[in-house]
Structure 1
Amino acid sequence: MPEGHSVHRIARQFDRNFVGHAVAASSPQGRFAEGAAVIDGRTATAVRAVGKQMFLEFDDDLTLRVHLGLYGAWDFAGEILVDPTIASANGRMGQTNQRGTDLADDPILDDAGENSLTSIGAPRRTRVHVRMSEQTTGLADDDDVWPPPVVGQVRLRLLTDSTAADLRGPTACELQTPDEVAATIAKLGPDPLVDDVSEGEERFTTVVRRKPTPIGLLLMDQSVVSGIGNVYRAELLFRARQNPHTPGRDVPEETVRELWRDWVRLLAIGVETGQMMTMDDLDPGAYRRALASRDDRHWVYHRAGLPCRICGTEIVVEEVATRKLYWCPNCQR
């Protein structure tokens, strides 16, 4: 499931390529035919992400709400416009120790052959697949055909004169009125990139400190805090050296506050780099390796059976509410 950083990056992509443009909409699969007919021909006026949900606004106070869920994905094709705040980034937001790691002229390709710093980067005709880590599938075989042919089960296609976005397999794809949008967002916990950071910290701390629910479950509860998924949950808890089974009300207040502040930092890094970078104090070589491979960018996530990077204890994995929880039983006692 895409975590908060990916959804914010997707929203930025829509802001660059769709907002201000008249949009042709269709439902090749047929499951959103009525909604697509309502959108068709309207102008996209604004877009925002809140946690794991995106809200694309059209004229006449109409909003498309999309929650990708476990299986949803966006495919972009066409002229993909550059975002200088991401494409020119060198991956150092919040990583003060990374100075001197100049990545602009020496791209780092990850396991999928993508340079995440310029993901959906400079204008080009290409096909881009956006999931958890915004993987690029490379140049399409049919890149001279416009609009590109529909491939597979596409719930919704949005099309401008030069850019196409195909939505597949979302948990939610619906039209909402302003009141319905407000009601949806009111049910979500604070998002550091949307809400006032200090107010968000107070909301998060107050809710967590009164709950008997384990902190490992609370961090995944989108009504408590928006955007955290399985990867960030495991990494935040390890970075705080916090046992995931401790009831929220028993977690020291300062630890709860530090979890929020750390989420503020990690989310900003994720949006900038396109990767869930959760390790600090990396030298330039280690930082490059971390950008290139998930195996080198996390403390505990996906490391079951491997030694803890700090104490050497074997990392364990548990099934908690149908999701895998990775943690170190020594560092997080």
Structure 2
Amino acid sequence: MAAQASPLQMRILSQLQTRFGGKHAVGQRLNEVDIAEWLGVSRTPVREVLRALERQGVLAYEPRRGFEILRSLDPDPGDAGDRSDLLDERVMREMALGTLKSVISERALLQRFAVPKGFLNSTLRRLMRDQLAEPSPGRGWVFADVGPEALKDGYRFRQIVEPAAILSDGYAVDSAAMARLDSDHEAAIAKIDAFDRRALFELDAQFHLAIAEGAGSRPLADAIRRQNNIRRVAEYMGFVRLDRIRQSMIEHRGIMAALLGGRRQQAATLMRLHLDVSAQETFSHLPEDLERIRSGGTLSEAPVSET
């Protein structure tokens, strides 16, 4: 934006960067009417911001079709990965403890975390991409509920839909993709002590999404993505023990073996058992894990084994 951009234009730009930043948004189309309604502002300042981005080569305009994103809206090439990861963890810690409730202004968030605006926007953008936060027009930000009750609701939902998905009509197994996923599980189990826990969680999330995608239902796959994102906050803080992660991946392999062998009824039964055990494990340790976080514990301090 030009140096003479108004505060309103800068706010609009910041919101656009948060919502549409990153390579994943390239190719999406922006409509000034929709953006104005979303932000609760008039169309004129929105149009001025979009035209400025067009002049910079970030957007391309096509009559009757609106603006297309040509390259990332993210203006912060100095976004250092380590500092961003640290802020992500701090925000997720607060979400896990339930201290980010109601609507919180961007100014309040900047004061709370004492970071440059660019770092905060990057974290908010990632949370919004994962449906864990969303802007409240003209007021601030609303964070998703990821507390114990939300986790319980998520497990109940998954216990219902994931086994049912496997038994649904027309369920299709992508054998090649499933075999690759199984191989990745085998490698992780063999060297689990050396794996970053967030990488282990991503492998877990890939498995559950692959199971959902076999049903050929986009709403179902989107719902599982949403549940994975809610769980990601808890897993990020180390709620699950390493020995349980290992056993969980062994259970995943059993489910995949049943699917690859055409034994869907067995796979559905194993999935239900897997989710039951995972829920029991999560909630049996939840109070002590939350207490560790309150006392300032970190992911690396989470217990790695049990007797």
TM-score past 0.5 threshold? no
TM-score of the aligned structures, taking structure 1 as reference length: 0.32
Higher strand share: 1
Q: Over alpha carbons, which structure has the higher Rg?
A: 2
Higher helix share: 2
